[in-house]
Amino acid sequence: MTLEIVQTGNPVLRTVARTMSAEEIRSPAIQQLIVEMRDTMRAAPGVGLAAPQIGESLQLAVIEDRADYISDFSPEQLAALQRSPVDFHVIINPKLNLVGDATAEFFEGCLSVEGFAAVVRRSLSVRVECLNERAEPITINANGWYARILQHEIDHLNGTLYIDRMHTRSFTTVENAERLRQARTIEQDLE
């Protein structure tokens, strides 16, 4: 079953989501919600989905960057993005720490800002302390595109959208962003 993805303008996207207890995380209702969020993310398709995006103000997100999503990228593009497949996993009640000063600027889109993309500066390395779907504490050390996905999804849990962080002159349709990516450098897009 797939869920409706709410779009920008819905107040739930601008609210700090509430944390969950271990008992709540392990409840049948939350376990079912995780399955439905996974199915919704895959159907969209997307690489992450936060609970506020389906109207639930919970500190919960699902993430997966499948190999088939990046199969059309050249090795050079994957290296530039520092992107590789990421297995499905769940983050709950995450605490994000940026590691180092290195950043990168790339186009981002969002399932809740459908049809648009913009260049966003993100940290290249992060450390996330959170709970998994069994309410077990885990630590994730991520770099490159995976770090970007984590930052994007955790922003959702804190009421922030990528449009709050974007270079406004780069805001465009997804189709135009794809054309720009193929024809120009990001630096040229920001001129």
Structure tokens at 11: 């107040």
Alpha helices in 26-173, H assignment, sequence order: 28-43, 75-81, 144-157
Residue among 108, 136, 153, 191 flagged as catalytic: 153
Structure tokens of 129?
């302390």
Q: Would residue 153 show up in a list of annotated catalytic residues for this protein?
A: yes
Candidates 181, 61, 54, 64; CA nearest to 119 is 181
The enclosing H or E element of 118 equals strand 116-123
Measured distance CA(58)–CA(18) in Å, rounded: 5
> Across-strand partners of 131?
92, 137
Give the whole-angstrom CA distance, residue 163 versus residue 9.
Answer: 12
Three-class DSSP category at 140: strand
- Tell me, what amino acid is at 92? I
108 is written with which tokens?
């981002």
Catalytic residues: 153
